[in-house]
Structure 1
Amino acid sequence: MTAVNDARTPDLSWLDDVTMSDLERNPYATYERLRAEAPLAYVPVLGSYVASTEEVCREVATSAAFEAVITPAGGRTFGHPAIIGVNGDVHADLRGMVEPALQPVEVDRYVEDLVRPIARRYLESFENDGRAELVAQYCEPVSVRSLGDLLGLRDVESDVLRDWFAKLNRSFTNAAMTESGEFANPEGFVEGDRAKAEIQAVVDPLIDHWITHPDDSAISHWLHDGMPPGRTRDREYIYPTVYVYLLGAMQEPGHGIASTLVGLFGEPEQMERVVDDPALIPRAVSEGMRWTSPIWSATARISTRPVTVAGVDLPAGTPVILSYGSANHDDDRYAAPTRFDIDRPPLPHLAFGAGNHACAGIYYANHVMRIALEELLEAIPNLERDTSSDVEFWGWGFRGPTTLHTVWEV
């Protein structure tokens, strides 16, 4: 795909050497250069244009010249109609289906009673041990258990939910494309397909039950709400959005909690202030989500007509990947963006997206992260990172620490 640029277009041939492995290990170097040289650029390994600055991401996300589209790997993983990749009446119906349980007044009704006992239960399993790997033992389990119970998957073990989102994650971000527009690694979708088969084997009987015996679980509401009496939405219609939830919505709070902790560990004075004053936790969470955005580069838009963005002429039908994790490190927007700083002026960030496809669960996710950190730091105020183990982050579409080893005096 070729765009018409003016004579000032920089030489971007270096992008030919960028690999998916580069992006998954550490996308920041590539995107820092993109922000400086070409805020909107075609990245061959992704087979798509990429928006890398705050200004361009926000422009594309909110422009009437663009509508939502799912990335090729995302579409291969979730199927259609996934809520993140549809428009018009279908998008309105799916948003109307999921949003009631995520409205602030509704979240306020249930979130404390849902999340706090879950956090306490996981803490009790290790708080007297003096050490823990918090990603696997706390951050991810609290996230998946809270949402799993909200969805109605109370009998699905947390480790199974974690396994599902990990497999769907790797499938969704298996984004490398060949020059001919084919998937470079088609085998990379196999484990995602297996996860979906496992999900359907568990959820199908629940749907059978909810069709005739609706309850207060979210998926039961998805089936029934807004439908004529005696009718429900087809399971094939809601499954792609179930997969969206089991990946993006399950991993986002867990990785947000972990990234916030890593940021605080790197700024001991800020950690001490947060421990002493839990009212600072929401500010720390907001900075953690900006610093390492869990949904780093997983959403896209497609132009509905010829349009010029950042000096690049795009024909109608051109997809653009929105790299929100890069936008949240934009030097033109944030001073010293690589530093974790809870005293940063409260500028809006893009960790939850923008426009009419911004994340529907912003309020819910922020409260899950807040409660989890409140419980953790109250129970273990002397929590420290185990410096004998490095912290490694992974992911380009979705990003977070793979492990977080911690110690404390009991």
Structure 2
Amino acid sequence: MNPLEPQPDAELPDPVPLIGCPYKRDPYPLYERMREAGPVHRVLFPSGVRAWLVTGYDAARAALTDDRLGKNHDRGNDRWRARASIMPEPQHSRLQVHLLHQDPPKHTRMRRHLTDAFAPRRIDGLLPRFQELADRLVDALPETGPADLVAGFAAHFPFRVLAEVIGLREELADLFDRDWGKVVQPVGPTDPGRPLYEARLHGLQSYIAEVVADGRARAGDDLLSRLVAARDRGELSREELDSMVFQLLVAGQEPVTNQLTTALIALFRHPDQLARLRADPGLLPGAVEELLRHDSAFELTTWRFFDRDSDLHGTGIPAGDSVIVSLCAANRDPRRFPDPDTLDLDRDPNPHLAFGHGIHFCPGAALARAELRIALGTLLARLPGLRPAVPDEDIEWIPAVLGRGTNRLPVGYDRRL
């Protein structure tokens, strides 16, 4: 039985494998079967990790605010740790104590250092600069297609914007290797790709040390300098500082790159909606929300754990087993979103969970929304006739466990304005 094919009368396997190209290309038929069968299922990831996946909208929203579920890795049991805790020491201890892996009150203390930098009012003040960055990248594209919109635009725009927001000097931004972001894609100790994974990890750690040293030397009013100053005042540990910089560099770049690709693919698959958006840029704010709902770059959340054997929507979960919420499955739940598989740019209300919910709601949500509005608006306005240059079935989806996106997006267009 292929679990990716809708089979209403067949039982789901236990665990449900979340593995392979067909699943990454289109996980939604499987998610539909899982939602219909119940809110919680045991799943198997490519690394061999077995976890519990929450799929329905109401169940997902409840899990995201369930104070019995903690994020700290210390809660994980030996079964989880044997497969999932794959970042070697000392890097794991130095880079994995960021906000996504903390609970209150530590999470509250650390998060307050970020809120001002990503406040909507501050982001609004930077929009003209973001537009300049987008136009500069489009200016460098070929005058006519084809072009790869990942290599030519989506891989660079989010990081350039992030550098402006956090105070990363252009000289240091130029040295960042996007390949380092792949350290969040699990590579087990016996995997043939392990040496490359560890090389990326060492490269990123050395880069973070440079960023911290630069922030200390400048002692400015930007976010990076303020985080270093907080460390020097004893408000953050060295590990917390390095982990927060790690989170900013990786979570602030790759998910937005991936969301741009999922958004463009969704529009290519719905040419009527693409035509509407091109003709009426005023639709962009609502369109961004619908594109986030329709196919989110954050497919799954990171781990959560019960500290004792617990019940989750009628399913018994052992202490220390990992619980993961499928944001994509929640965002296609027909009990919350009518006709959920349809891309409807007029959808209102649209209470999607693409940025999570509760205390771990993405602090960069306002920034990501602004980036998507500017990026999509610029590409549609300046590349008339923008269209895919390869068949849909030839698009290669990244093998990341938690995220969705593509490493290449070949497109055609009539000319560059």
| Equivalence for 1:220 | 225
Displacement after TM superposition at 1:198 (Å): 1.3
Deviates more, 1:151-160 or 1:37-46: 151-160
Length-normalised TM-score, structure 1: 0.84
Instruction: Quote the Cα distance in structure 1 between the aligned partners of 2:112 and 2:395.
Output: 39
| Equivalence for 2:77 | none
Instruction: Quote the Cα distance in structure 2 between the aligned partners of 1:164 and 1:35.
Output: 35
Displacement after TM superposition at 1:381 (Å): 3.3
Instruction: Quote the Cα distance in structure 2 between the aligned partners of 1:331 and 1:124.
Output: 42
Matched, 1:93 2:109: yes
Aligned AA (1:146)? V
The C-alpha deviation readout for 1:48-85, integer Å capped at 9, x for no partner, is: 11111112111111112222245857754454312101
Kept in 2: contact 1:27–1:396 (CA 8 A): no
Instruction: Quote the Cα distance in structure 2 between the aligned partners of 1:159 and 1:385.
Output: 31
Instruction: Quote the Cα distance in structure 2 between the aligned partners of 1:224 and 1:201.
Output: 20
Instruction: Quote the Cα distance in structure 1 between the aligned partners of 2:154 and 2:253.
Output: 11
Instruction: Quote the Cα distance in structure 2 between the aligned partners of 1:126 and 1:298.
Output: 34
Matched, 1:194 2:199: yes
Displacement after TM superposition at 1:21 (Å): 5.8
Aligned AA (1:34)? M
Displacement after TM superposition at 1:388 (Å): 5.1
Matched, 1:163 2:168: no
| Equivalence for 1:143 | 158
Matched, 1:312 2:315: yes
Displacement after TM superposition at 1:227 (Å): 6.6
- With over 3 angstroms needed to count, the CA separation of the structure-2 counterparts of 1:111 and 1:191, relative to structure 1, is farther
| Equivalence for 1:331 | 334
Deviates more, 1:320-329 or 1:69-78: 69-78
Kept in 1: contact 2:97–2:240 (CA 8 A): yes
Displacement after TM superposition at 1:225 (Å): 4.4
The C-alpha deviation readout for 1:158-214, integer Å capped at 9, x for no partner, is: 68442222x22423xx4xxxxxxxx58555554343223212323323322422431
- With over 3 angstroms needed to count, the CA separation of the structure-2 counterparts of 1:19 and 1:184, relative to structure 1, is farther
Instruction: Quote the Cα distance in structure 1 between the aligned partners of 2:175 and 2:258.
Output: 15
Q: Secondary structure at the match of 1:302?
A: strand
Instruction: Quote the Cα distance in structure 2 between the aligned partners of 1:191 and 1:382.
Output: 39
Instruction: Quote the Cα distance in structure 1 between the aligned partners of 2:391 and 2:319.
Output: 52
Structure 2: segments with no counterpart, 5+ residues: 1-9, 74-79
What percentage of residue pairs aligned between the two structures are identical? 25
Instruction: Quote the Cα distance in structure 2 between the aligned partners of 1:53 and 1:156.
Output: 42
Aligned AA (2:132)? P
| Equivalence for 2:121 | 105
Matched, 1:205 2:205: no
Deviates more, 1:219-228 or 1:377-386: 219-228
- List aligned pairs for 1:41-52, cutoff 5 A: 41-45=41-45, 46-52=49-55
Kept in 2: contact 1:131–1:405 (CA 8 A): yes
Instruction: Quote the Cα distance in structure 1 between the aligned partners of 2:329 and 2:385.
Output: 33
Deviates more, 1:378-387 or 1:283-292: 378-387
Aligned AA (1:276)? A
The C-alpha deviation readout for 1:319-368, integer Å capped at 9, x for no partner, is: 31111122112232223323322122322111101110111110011001
Length-normalised TM-score, structure 2: 0.83
| Equivalence for 1:299 | 302
Matched, 1:39 2:39: yes
- Counterpart of 1:356 (choices 355, 359, 382) is 359
- With over 3 angstroms needed to count, the CA separation of the structure-2 counterparts of 1:110 and 1:227, relative to structure 1, is farther
Instruction: Quote the Cα distance in structure 1 between the aligned partners of 2:12 and 2:189.
Output: 22
Aligned AA (2:327)? Y
Displacement after TM superposition at 1:296 (Å): 0.8
Instruction: Quote the Cα distance in structure 2 between the aligned partners of 1:276 and 1:332.
Output: 32
| Equivalence for 2:289 | 286
- Counterpart of 1:67 (choices 43, 66, 70) is 70
| Equivalence for 2:405 | 400
Displacement after TM superposition at 1:315 (Å): 4.3
The C-alpha deviation readout for 1:8-44, integer Å capped at 9, x for no partner, is: xx95545366546665454334322221213212224
Instruction: Quote the Cα distance in structure 1 between the aligned partners of 2:190 and 2:343.
Output: 35
- With over 3 angstroms needed to count, the CA separation of the structure-2 counterparts of 1:131 and 1:239, relative to structure 1, is same
| Equivalence for 1:276 | 279
Matched, 1:391 2:395: yes
- With over 3 angstroms needed to count, the CA separation of the structure-2 counterparts of 1:158 and 1:140, relative to structure 1, is farther
Kept in 1: contact 2:300–2:402 (CA 8 A): yes
Kept in 1: contact 2:118–2:366 (CA 8 A): yes
Instruction: Quote the Cα distance in structure 2 between the aligned partners of 1:267 and 1:11.
Output: 32
Kept in 1: contact 2:86–2:189 (CA 8 A): no
Displacement after TM superposition at 1:92 (Å): 1.4
| Equivalence for 2:4 | none
Q: Secondary structure at the match of 1:274?
A: helix
- List aligned pairs for 1:241-256, cutoff 5 A: 241-256=244-259
Kept in 2: contact 1:52–1:324 (CA 8 A): yes
| Equivalence for 1:178 | none
